A and B are shown apart, each in its own frame.
Chain A
Amino acid sequence: MNGFSMKNVMKKNVMTIALFAVYVLFVILAAAIKGTNMLDPSVVTSLIEQNAYVFILGAGMLMCMLTGGNIDLSVGSFVCFAGAVIGLFSVENKILNEWYGVWTTQIVDGKEERVLVTAAQPLSTPVVLLIVIGVGLAYGALLGFLIAYVRIPPWIATLAGYLAFRGLGTQVLTTASTTNAISNFPKPLLAIFSGKLFETGWGEMNIPCLILGIAGSAVVVFLSLKARATKVKKGYQADPMWFVILKCCLIVAIIMFLTVEFALDGGIPVVVLWILAVLIIYGIITEKTTIGRHFMTVGGNAEASRLSGINNKRIMFVAYLNMAILTVIASLVVTARTGAANAFAGQEFELDAIAACIVGGVSAYGGAGTIVGMVVGATLIGVINQGMSLVGVDQDWIKIVKGLVLLGAVVFDIMSKKGNKKQ
């Protein structure tokens, strides 16, 4: 059928609908069983802050998966290592003192001992950021080179990274600190990646947050209407007006819901801005740019892509370089939120990002997937996580349910594709 059909819309957005249903279900269950209000501003904010890394890493993983179902297993370990690097240079620690401190020898109880006279100065935040991004670029370039040009299967190359960076990160942290973790990060660094924008007290209405929310809603409505108007003007097939308005209403409702929640909880979390920036940038790359199209084509049919003049190797290289940069950003966000770099940071992050993509309808074989889908997938898993813990379900059971949801999403995807073919 050529025209607009509500059935198709429902079919396309089945995961979004599932997300709404699951959310409502948990809101009711949490209130009924434990008397917890899942709509409480602090609960909503923590849902987003806790899952920030999934959105950021998911964007990178999406790009990798588009190229043919390739994944990056080293993401979690690299989050840990990058965190260690950030800590190493921004907080006074044993390694830094060993390298740059001023030492002298004293005789204590007849033995010679080295004594620190002046501790090494930690580097300023901009320099630390430059260093850690540099480390990310170097790793990404190496990984991209190995995968794209040496043709090492991605899962093997990144498995090596998974092992090596967990070890390296732990080594740095245990050497640098007696507590095996680095904390007391400088305030400027924390402020860039965590905290609230224009923070106000709890329970007050945060005005800048409201203004931003309303402005954001206005932009969404304007762009949707403009897009439809252009389509109508040029005589292309466009969705009916009522549907566009309905869609706008829903999106505005979500934005305003979050805005009010944030406003009541002291303002927009800084991390939300990072998430939005990443999602918007990668949304545009995948949907609107030539390079985004190339990612899809390489995954859809590598040979056809090569014979159409696309440099497949370069696309693979960029995918993994990009993943490493986003991993560094995720690491900064996570380190800033917990206020510490420790050896357990980033565990299973790679699996969360992959799961978000798969549940979000990104093809496990490459060539198809959207940022919006990934966001829905990530949020669905996040809601299940939070909802079940609030209801009081055991961690082990949460894992079982998440596993089943992942499997169910893929089975559903494959079954619905089969159904399409039969028609």
Chain B
Amino acid sequence: MAKVLLEMNSITKTFPGVKALDNVNLKVEEGEIHALVGENGAGKSTLMNVLSGIYPYGTYDGDIVYDGEVCRFHNIKDSEKKGIVIIHQELALVPYMTIGENMFLGNEQGSKWCIDWYKTYAEADKYLAMVGLTDSSKTLIKDIGTGKQQLVEIAKALAKNAKLLILDEPTSSLNETDSRALLDLMKKLQREENLTMIIISHKLNEVSYVADKITVVRDGSTIETLDAKTDDISETRIIKGMVGREITDRFPKRHDVEIGDVMMEVRDWTVYHPEFSERKVCDEVSINVRRGEVVGIYGLMGAGRTELAMSIFGRSYGIGISGDLILRGQKVTLKSPKQAIEAGLAYVTEDRKGNGLVLSNSILRNTTLANLKGVSKGSFIDPDKEYEVAEEYVKKLKTKTPSVEQLVGNLSGGNQQKVLLAKWMFANPDVLILDEPTRGIDVGAKYEIYCIINDLAKAGKSVVMISSELPEVIGMSDRIYIMNQAKIVGEMEASEATQEKIMACIVGVSGEADADGVGSEA
């Protein structure tokens, strides 16, 4: 048995109101490729952030034993000194600098005051050869593709004398060929350099291909560790570990909701990425939603769900949008969020702080933001009416706040989410697209949000709920679309849906789920 390089013992990490990691244990042996798998929000990234010192010692409980000694990292520099290097999903390269400059950023070659450029580029070329990149180290980062940029990141890590390399979703923005090349490189580095690696990935086929051991994380706890030599590591087996929990009664039931005509339909909707204009973020997507219906769209992060929603909502995302949008049986073209709101659409963002709420403004002002006309006479705001509206929604949604004058930035996540919902409910839309409506809020507030969704359906609204939480999608939807890599890969009635079936659609293993998708709901 090989030497144990890293041991994380009973790591517990709490954020205000949420326990992100609960007694997590992870053991990594020297020279192995160890995969961490789990749903979004299961705690994989948090665990790696604890390991690399992004969450410094003291903010978590438990021990990190690395190379035989207990480590207390206060920042990334500390962990890098020990040879633990993390490569994040979002590449951290400066586009207008050369490969060489990027590789030694913060680790400049030469004397303390003067950079030795000859050494920099010579060293850079050496490490580039190691990762099999033939481009000159003087090429600008912006001139090479994402696949090669990922290789530069690895070379950069090697230049830091990495002994333990952590790759967070390294293939999420790569195509098939580049992904395979990257995985092969990982195997080569393992063989030739005896490098130890931890890979976080959603792509289970890749995990099966590359990993020696697989640790499954679920709801902030490590569930099991599978060994490629002795255990079954097929995708179905991994999925079972990832989702193997009972759906309890966490979702309020909807009663007597009549599902009506098709309210909104999207046909062959194709959207391209605004910056990488050859990349499709939605590929011939067709979905529909009826009056009084809650339609779930399930997909992992980066599947194209948000892009789909925002491009429908007045083309607020993406370029080269094609396809038909049919509202109430009429084909419409919505060119701006304003037109979308007027046509009866609402997009409740997943990023309430980033693009949903104005944190420096009061509840009052945020509530009326999308429908200021509703409280105005001409161009003058009626302060009394505005106050009444804000009070009404605070009561209706049970928002906990001392007054409607409270700044939204001072509210908890759940209450902010309610203000965001209030804002869009007051705009009085027919179709509400809720993007991750319960992200980052506690269980109690989640239940209240579910009740609001049910009330909306009861009032005859059409609700599209985007979520990456399987139980939520199954528990709340009437019908579920499954989205993966810019495409709709399955559709099923919620009554027939199981977590395994849905996950199978994503990894495209089971024929059963596909058959369901074609059969139901035309």
Contact = CB atoms under 8 A, between A and B. Distances in A.
Interface string B310-340: 0001101000000000000000000011101
Contact of B336 (A300, A309, A363): A309
Interface in A195-230: 230
Contacts of B423: 308
B402 A297 contact: no
A39 B444 CA distance: 63
B370 A303 contact: no
A2 B355 contact: no
A34 interface: no
A106 interface: no
Interface stretch (B5-13, B88-96, B359-367): B359-367
Contact of A304 (B314, B369, B384): B369
A301 B372 CA distance: 16
A305 interface: yes
Contacts of A230: 384
Interface stretch (A9-17, A165-173, A286-294, A323-331): A286-294
Given A236-B387, A301-B359, A368-B360, A308 B369 contact: yes
A234 B369 contact: no
Contacts of B342: 309
B355 A307 contact: yes
B357 A304 contact: yes
A367 B361 contact: yes
Given A297-B369, A301-B359, A311-B338, A306 B380 contact: no
A306 B313 CA distance: 11
Interface string B336-376: 11101110000101000011111111000100011011001
A105 interface: no
Interface residues of A, number: 28
A307 B360 contact: no
B139 interface: no
A228 to B, nearest CB: 13
Nearest to A284: B380
Interface in A327-363: 363
A46 interface: no
Interface string A230-265: 100010110000000000000000000000000000
A376 B187 CA distance: 68
Interface residues of B, number: 34
A165 to B, nearest CB: 32
Contacts of A309: 314, 336-338, 340-342, 370
A3 B384 CA distance: 19
A2 B406 CA distance: 10
A124 to B, nearest CB: 34
Interface string B425-449: 0000000000000000000000000
Contact of B403 (A237, A288, A294): A237
Nearest to A236: B387
Contacts of A1: 402
A308 B316 contact: no
B394 to A, nearest CB: 13
Contact of A296 (B316, B355, B361): B361
A303 B336 CA distance: 13
A304 B356 contact: yes
A307 B387 contact: no
Contacts of A311: 336, 338
Nearest to A302: B355
Given A2-B402, A297-B358, A304-B358, A289 B337 contact: no
Contact of B381 (A2, A288, A308): A288
Interface of A: 1-2, 230, 234, 236-237, 288-291, 293-294, 296-297, 300-301, 303-311, 363, 367-368
Nearest 5 interchain pairs by C-beta: A303-B355, A300-B358, A309-B338, A308-B370, A309-B341
Given A1-B402, A288-B381, A301-B358, 13 more contacts: A236-B387, A290-B376, A290-B380, A297-B358, A297-B369, A301-B360, A304-B355, A304-B357, A304-B358, A306-B316, A307-B347, A309-B314, A367-B358
21 contacts: A230-B384, A236-B384, A236-B387, A237-B403, A288-B383, A289-B379, A289-B381, A290-B380, A296-B358, A300-B358, A300-B359, A301-B359, A301-B360, A303-B355, A304-B358, A305-B358, A307-B355, A308-B369, A309-B337, A309-B340, A309-B370
